Amino acid sequence: MKDPTSQLRSATRRAKSDVANKIVSMFLHELSRRIAEHWKFRIDGEEYGKLVREWFNNKCPYCSRPLADGQPVIEHLDGMNRYRAGLHVAGNVLVACRRCNGEKRRDDSAKTLSLAESGWASFLSHDGTRCAPSCLTCRYWSGIWNDETERRTRLRENSERIRSFRAAFPELEQILPAIRGALPELLTKLYSDCQSFAENEIRILLEGLDRIAGASMPKGSEPATGGRTRKHGKVEPSTDGPAAEAP
Ligand SMILES: [Zn+2]
Ligand SMILES: [Zn+2]
């Protein structure tokens, strides 16, 4: 059980990475809009929705469970974060079950992938033969298809179906190598710049408040700071450590 102070610190860390992730996502959405402006399929169009539903037979493209059974969610094959640099464009957007969408996040948020070159292909590569026994994704798939032969076959089939779906969008296929080559480094910089900016702004605001609080104190009295004394308006350096690596 975490003590309240460490809970507070991890909440602060999470808030900081949430802000940076939001900026990365905003950038990717804007980039997607520009890139796909004149593409054949628009993801908000009726035609694209129909094509996705028919391609995957109204089933989750990862686990094949009927979408009507679960809570279907919008899913990005390449996740929209700084490592996967996925776009909100035709060929990358589809509909999946909520469970798979959540389970896939482990692969999506890994800085480097060892099982495949993309997050979605990596997610479908956890067939229980290449990871440590503790791997949660391997356990997820064995919970769905207990028999190893069936599991490997189904994962391979679904991976191939997604690959052929991708191939139906040559406009995306064409720009993918450039995106994969250049974007992760740029996005990682954007992410860390955003965190530094947020930390700096918060520090300046706190210093300003310290001065206001100091000025309103009657002479001779000191504010009670419970051991975390701030001398001469200076704020102690954060003890949060490095920022969280959450996606
Ligand atoms: Zn699923
Ligand atoms: Zn695994």
Domain contains 128: yes
Rounded percentage of the chain residues whose pLDDT exceeds 90: 66
Dist. CA 211 → ligand 2 center (Å): 53
Ligand nearest to the CA of 102: 1
Domain contains 36: yes
Dist. CA 141 → ligand 2 center (Å): 9
Domain contains 209: no
Of the two residues 236 and 52, the one the predictor is more confident about is 52
Rounded to two decimals, what is the model's pTM?
0.79
Does residue 241 register a pLDDT over 60?
no
User: Beta 72-76 vs 93-97: how paired, if at all?
Assistant: antiparallel
Domain contains 226: no
How many Cβ atoms from other residues are within 10 Å of residue 140's Cβ? 19
Residue with tokens 């067939």: 127
Q: Are 124 and 154 in contact (CB under 8 A)?
A: no
- Longest CA span, the chain: 79
What's the 3-state SS for the chain?
CCCHHHHHHHHHHHHHHHHHHHHHHHHHHHHHHHHCCCCCCCCCCHHHHHHHHHHCCCECCCCCCECCCCCEEEEECCCCCCCCCCCCCCCCEEEEEHHHHHHCHHHHCCCCCCCCCCHHHHHCCCCCCCCCCCCHHHHHHHHHCCCHHHHHHHHHHHHHHHHHHHHCCHHHHHHHHHHHHHHHHHHHHHHHHHHHHHHHHHHHHHHHHHHHHHHCCCCCCCCCCCCCCCHHHCCCCCCCCCCCCCC
pLDDT in tens, 201-239: 989 999 988 888 777 666 555 544 444 444 444 444 444
Range of the domain at 44: 4-190
* Rg, the chain, Cα only: 23
Domain contains 85: yes
Phi and psi for 186 in degrees, rounded to 5? -60, -45
Domain contains 69: yes
Dist. CA 107 → ligand 2 center (Å): 10
Dist. CA 79 → ligand 2 center (Å): 18
**What pLDDT is attached to residue 239?**
42
pLDDT in tens, 81-123: 999 999 999 999 999 999 999 999 999 999 999 999 999 999 9
Number of compact structural domains in the chain: 1
Domain contains 131: yes
Dist. CA 99 → ligand 1 center (Å): 6
Domain contains 225: no
Taking a 5 Å cut-off on Cβ, the residues next to ion ligand 2 are 126, 131, 135, 137-138
Dist. CA 141 → ligand 1 center (Å): 10
